[in-house]
Amino acid sequence: MLKDPVCGMKIDEKSTTILKSDYRNKTYYFCSRGCKKSFDDNPSKYTGESTDEEQSCCC
């Protein structure tokens, strides 16, 4: 089973409606166009990589 990193939904890899995106040599799969778009707009948010601008601390 694959997992949509945006909404967390499980995706059947045999599904014909799968959407995917390549980011930094990894392939990510999405359940819908909306999820793919969210990912494409801000991939680092969903891959768990921190970006320089988001490294602020609340304390």
Q: Which residue has the tokens 């768990």?
A: 48
Span near Zn ion by CB under 5 A; candidates 12-20, 27-35, 39-47, 48-56: 27-35
Task: Tell me how far the alpha carbon of residue 16 is from its chain's centroid.
Answer: 19
Q: Is 35 in the site for Zn ion (CB under 5 A)?
A: yes
CB atoms within 10 A of CB 7: 13
Span near Zn ion by CB under 5 A; candidates 4-12, 21-29, 37-45, 49-57: 4-12
28 versus 35: smaller Cβ distance to Zn ion: 35
Alpha helices in 3-53 (DSSP H): 33-41, 43-47
Query: By the criterion CB under 5 A, which residues form the site for Zn ion?
Result: 4, 6-7, 9, 31, 35
